[in-house]
Amino acid sequence: MRRGPVRSGPRPSASKQSARRAPPPTLAHPMHVRLIKSFTFEAAHWLPTFPEGHKCRRMHGHSFRVDVVVAGPLDPDKGYLLDYGDIKAFTGPLEKQLDHYCLNEIPGLENPTSEMIAKWIWDRLKPQLPALAQVVVHETCTSRCEYVG
């Protein structure tokens, strides 16, 4: 059973209840935020510029993770910078282009180092996503490239 003060009389209308609520907080200073949306892909590659005999010169694969970082001022009326779903709409087609392919066979990735993959992704996202601030390509759980254009 619920306990609390007993009210007498009619309950306030919805419009009166909303009038009592405090307005959304206003920001005294502009907020600058960074959002990170990640995607993964599995791919094979070999690195043609590595020396003969180097293990990366042979065909091998990775479970790549890519972090797409957008940055900018928070819209005070909305309370957010961008919808994560909007970021996903731009990264989804790239994920499909990369996932379960040999990266060397993709135009522009003939030398698919982490650095070149990061730049390839940046070049395709930046025109559609002006707030793009960084692309991070994780080749392994301990090795990554951070590209800022």
Residues assigned a catalytic role: 56, 100, 139
The DSSP secondary structure of 84-100, one letter per residue, reads HHHHHHHHHHHHHHHTT
Closest CA to 68 of 44, 42, 94, 43: 94
Closest CA to 82 of 101, 65, 69, 97: 69
Which residues does 20 contact at the CB level (< 8 Å), separation at least 6?
12
Chain Cα centroid distance, residue 52: 36
Decide if 43 contacts 18 (C-beta within 8 A): no
